[in-house]
Amino acid sequence: MDTEQFRLPRSRAANERLHALIPGGAHTYAKGDDQYPENLAPVISHGHGAHVWDIDGNRYVEYGSGLRSVSLGHAHPRVLEAVRRELDRGSNFVRPSIVEVEAAERFLATVPTAEMVKFAKNGSDATTAAVRLARAVTGRPRVAICADHPFFSVDDWFIGTTPMSAGIPAATTELTVAFPYGDLAATEELLTRYEGEVACLILEPASHSEPSPSSQLRSSRGDPTPGYLAGLRELADRHGCVLIFDEMITGFRWSEAGAQGLYGVVPDLSTFGKALGNGFAVSALAGRRDLMERGGLRHSGDRVFLLSTTHGAETHSLAAAMAVQATYVEEGITARLHALGERLAAGVRDAAAGMGVGEHIVVRGRASNLVFATLDENRQPSQQYRTLFLRRLLAGGVLAPSFVVSSALSEADIDHTVDVVAQACAVYRKALDAGDPTPWLAGRPVKPVFRRLA
């Protein structure tokens, strides 16, 4: 489809209604229409498998579904069956339901490196609970976050470190310090500088983010360099701080047991979410019994208000999580995600190279968690070129803020995506030759989520 003829009038009207009623026009900043080309932010009607339909009637092959949460595809029959079974039995009670212990048993069997688990609704609650627990057990005030990872929580201890820090006291932000991924020497220097003050190190055990200039090189798949995580484990032990793995993204996509199961390094605490519920709201904090029990009733120390959420144990969400885990293990979903991602990455790279833009449209990350970079004439990241690329993908029926796959994708979906990418690359080449993508934008460029001004 010609992008000049691609219009979304109903979606545009719905976006106006969204902005009139909801700050930012979405309940998640990463879903905002500022993340898409001007007037080309589709509002979704429904989804099935790897496809979604917007309210204008267009069908798309979708990537990054539900911000990586829908890894089995929309309306997955096995998950829906488990959810429907619970809906007629009630969803929330004044005491724990038997589903809660069944879900805990299933989770700890899937992630055997953890000894106890507590469920919640979103990732931020889980990571903040981990930080609170680390501060409580160590008696230390500071939190050390990995500077190369983009997001940990909506709470003050993290958001205060971003450009969107309005409303957060400086005194809170000063208690959060940062270390670079892959650089054990820099991390040890940080722990020595704040000797006896750092409660925890929190990081994604592996990710798609680029390392800082001072960090060691990593593979393009996002794997840590050999010995890095074990070295971090040793540093945490030696300096008496808690090691926390944020497995919101790596959980299930790296292995059923997360990155810790793949790389063989056991953190003190870890957090899971996203893929855990295939779109249903469920997250988890898991870890060592002696630490987790401090948030319980069977210890003699000071009580820690670990996690307490009214809806954290909704039966249908826990049933969804159990069904997801069973599906991953029994159907080899992680391997399928990797196979689909490898086919997609190879196709996109070939298409970009064939159009002479192989050094400008760059696919990065583990095959199950692919992202892409759009680089300008000087090979620098460009929001303008990203806008051009997204416009062409949308017009071709591909909704792809990333290239993160779901297991519902078919090989035909991948092949269609590659064909659309090739067409987009042809236009990208024209813009590079002109030295200016502006004529192909048809409006303002997309914007990063974390920025100070609207």
Choosing from 282, 313, 344, the residue where a domain stops is: 313
Mark whether 96 and 29 lie in a shared domain. no
Return left, alpha or beta for 54; rule: phi > 0 is left, psi -120 to 50 is alpha, else beta.
beta
Would 322 be classed as within a structural domain? Answer: no
Mark whether 160 and 251 lie in a shared domain. yes
Query: What gap in Å lies between CA 291 and CA 199, rounded to an integer?
Result: 13
Mark whether 297 and 200 lie in a shared domain. yes
Bridge partners for 48 per DSSP = 51
pLDDT at residue 215, rounded to an integer: 41
**In terms of residue numbers, what domain contains 278?**
92-313
Would 148 be classed as within a structural domain? Answer: yes
Would 451 be classed as within a structural domain? Answer: no
Instruction: List pLDDT tens digits, range 224-266.
Output: 999 999 999 999 999 999 999 999 999 999 999 999 999 999 9
For the chain, list residues with pLDDT below 70: 1-4, 208-221
Mark whether 151 and 186 lie in a shared domain. yes
pLDDT at residue 213, rounded to an integer: 40
399 HSE (CA, 13 A, CB side): 24
Mark whether 135 and 221 lie in a shared domain. yes
Would 271 be classed as within a structural domain? Answer: yes
Mark whether 150 and 251 lie in a shared domain. yes
pLDDT at residue 383, rounded to an integer: 97
CA dihedral of 353, 356, 361, 363, whole degrees rounded to 10: 10
Would 211 be classed as within a structural domain? Answer: yes
Instruction: List pLDDT tens digits, range 356-393.
Output: 999 999 999 999 999 999 999 999 999 999 999 999 99
Q: What is the CATH number of the domain that holds 396?
A: 3.90.1150.10
List, in order, residues 6 or more apart from 439 with CB less than 8 Å away.
Answer: 431
What one-character DSSP code corresponds to residue 35?
A: G
Q: What is the CATH number of the domain that holds 258?
A: 3.40.640.10
Total domains in the chain come to: 2
Would 278 be classed as within a structural domain? Answer: yes
Mark whether 211 and 309 lie in a shared domain. yes
Would 80 be classed as within a structural domain? Answer: no
Strands 371-374 and 51-54: unpaired
Would 282 be classed as within a structural domain? Answer: yes
Mark whether 25 and 108 lie in a shared domain. no
pLDDT at residue 447, rounded to an integer: 95
